[in-house]
Amino acid sequence: MQSLPFVHEPWYLLTVALGAVLALLLLIVRLRLHAFIALSLVSLVTALMAGISVTNVVPTLTSSFGGTLASVALLVGLGAMIGKLLEVSGGAQVLADNLVNRFGADKAPLALGVASLCFGFPIFFDAGLIVMMPIIFSVARRFNGSVLTYALPAAGAFAVMHAFVPPHPGPVAAAEFLGADISLLLLVGLIIAIPTWYIGAYLYGQYAGKRFNIPLHSLFSLNAESPMPEQADLPSFSSVLLILLLPVFLIFMDTGLNTLIAANVIAGDTSVVHTLRLLGKTPVALLITLLVSIAIFSRRYGMGKIESWCGDSLAPICGVILVTGAGGMFGGVLRASGIGDALAGLLADTGMPLIVAGFIIAASLRVAQGSATVALTTTAALLAPMVAVTTGLSAVDLCCLVISIAGGATVLSHFNDSGFWLVSRLLNMDEKTTLRTWTVMETLLGSLAFIFAFILSWLF
């Protein structure tokens, strides 16, 4: 079947993308249709309207859905089991008590955020958030406050580290396209990421926690059948810390070795390096951590209870996984339709300063197709030829350009971003509340990073 001649025109594709987002808002927010159904329906209609051939529609939907599940399902499943074991054993409460005792009740959100900044250096956003979630919920339950007060500073910490700081793949790939120095980018990224997090995640999280009272999710909440163990039966602080730091250490092996290979410091084709990097892949690292957790807790509670708790942890996450996969499917359809490429083509030759153009193009791509990494790397590739012929760009300018692009790729997380649905379901928020909290925070983080990068580039 031949498509109409205007189907691949930029104006038409952008109209389809806008209509798809408006349709999701109507179906989910106004008509209260379940998000999984709405995303599946709108993805199908969008694929047809955007000119994807009838024979490729279902493969496009299933490959996008499956691709998202491949990266999310294992992490959420393994993370949920680790979180359940930490929760029912009292391990999460042990760590929460130590944080509160050392930093004070008023500083608990700050302590969670700082811990997440440290964990977020090597660990990816979704894995870090899942591992930290039982700690966040334990602190929130202790003070009976909105979970947003404690969750947003932690989630924002993982978000800024993932977007702005090597060795995460987005900034590393953008640096390679633009010729930015990785070591200097690490320094510039940290200089910008920390104040960006403090204003856009920590301070905003305190505001959002007062405005939106979000109760604890049952995924990490104790019930009458799983009471808190007696004080004498609680695991040691060192055991809990081992469980939390083990995946961080393992994942750092992969990301750290990858950075050393990219910098030609070590050879990447040896069996030892391949083995260490395998152990550091996020699903493998979480599986190893889960096995260590089982070994620690089974001596105290027995394998029968451990097996039961692991089974109980999987039931509540089915909705999380399916809706997140459907969100990835919607984003995949938009990418396959060429909507992002059409938008980038319209914006690439605007004559704006590079640092401004990078932010706007990346933000537009982020809104159009959802994936922050795709928006970041695509924008960097588009601007690379312009950077090559532009004189007077210092090493700091190039690093600030990478951060500006990363800031644009962070803003306006919405229905086509699988991370939007992951946060929504983990925190048990409806879509409207997620837009008013998570989307606002992501937009603050991206905009602040751009402002700081622009100022830093102007000063140096």
Q: Are residues 75 and 47 in the same domain?
A: no
Collapsed DSSP state (helix, strand, coil) of residue 61: helix
| pLDDT tens digits, one per residue of 88-108 | 777 766 776 777 777 777 788
Q: What is the DSSP string of 249-279?
A: HHHHHHHHHHHHHHTTSS-S-SHHHHHHHHH
Q: Is it the case that residue 2 has pLDDT exceeding 50?
A: no
Angle between helices 169-178 and 182-197 (to 10 degrees): 130
Q: Which residue has the higher pLDDT, 51 or 439?
A: 439
Q: Is it the case that residue 113 has pLDDT exceeding 90?
A: no
Q: Are residues 80 and 52 in the same domain?
A: no
Q: Is it the case that residue 306 has pLDDT exceeding 90?
A: no
Number of domains in the chain: 2
Q: Are residues 255 and 368 in the same domain?
A: yes
| pLDDT tens digits, one per residue of 377-402 | 767 766 776 777 677 778 888 999 99
Least confident of 62-66, 269-273, 416-420, 433-437: 416-420
3 part of a folded domain: no
Within 13 Å and on the Cβ side, how many CA atoms surround 409? Answer: 27
Between CA 186 and CA 106 the distance in angstroms is 31
Collapsed DSSP state (helix, strand, coil) of residue 222: coil
Q: Are residues 56 and 199 in the same domain?
A: no
418 part of a folded domain: yes
Question: Hey, what are 281's tokens?
Answer: 């892949």
Q: How confident is the model at residue 404, as a pLDDT?
A: 93
Between CA 385 and CA 225 the distance in angstroms is 62
Q: Are residues 271 and 160 in the same domain?
A: yes
Q: Are residues 52 and 75 in the same domain?
A: no
Q: Are residues 71 and 41 in the same domain?
A: no
Task: Report the percentage of the chain scoring pLDDT > 70.
Answer: 83
How far does the chain reach from its first CA to its final CA, in angstroms? Answer: 56
299 part of a folded domain: yes
Question: Hey, what are 238's tokens?
Answer: 């060192």
224 part of a folded domain: no
Domain stop point among 62, 77, 105: 62
Between CA 47 and CA 45 the distance in angstroms is 5
Between CA 126 and CA 321 the distance in angstroms is 12
Domain stop point among 62, 79, 102: 62
Q: Is it the case that residue 75 has pLDDT exceeding 80?
A: no
5 part of a folded domain: no
Domain stop point among 43, 62, 81: 62
Stretch 50-78: mean pLDDT: 81
Between CA 418 and CA 420 the distance in angstroms is 5
Out of 18-32, 165-179, 285-299, give the one with best mean pLDDT.
285-299
Q: Is it the case that residue 139 has pLDDT exceeding 70?
A: yes
| pLDDT tens digits, one per residue of 118-130 | 777 656 677 778 7
Residue with tokens 């999460």, as numbered in its chain: 92
- Are 46 and 334 a contacting pair, CB within 8 Å? yes
174 part of a folded domain: yes
Question: Residue 266 contacts by C-beta under 8 Å, 6 or more apart in sequence?
Answer: 257, 260, 273
Q: Are residues 387 and 256 in the same domain?
A: yes
Domain hosting 156: range is 65-215+231-459
Q: Is it the case that residue 455 has pLDDT exceeding 90?
A: yes
Q: Which residue has the higher pLDDT, 223 or 97?
A: 97
225 part of a folded domain: no
Using the 8-state DSSP alphabet, how is residue 392 labeled?
Answer: S
Mean pLDDT for the chain?
A: 79
Q: Are residues 71 and 153 in the same domain?
A: yes
Q: How confident is the model at residue 24, as a pLDDT?
A: 75
Q: Are residues 211 and 186 in the same domain?
A: yes
Helix (H) or strand (E) holding 207: helix 204-211
Residue with tokens 């692991």, as numbered in its chain: 310
Q: Are residues 58 and 82 in the same domain?
A: no
Q: Are residues 385 and 408 in the same domain?
A: yes
Q: Which residue has the higher pLDDT, 426 or 72?
A: 426
Cα→Cα distances 403→189, 200, 309, Å: 7, 16, 42
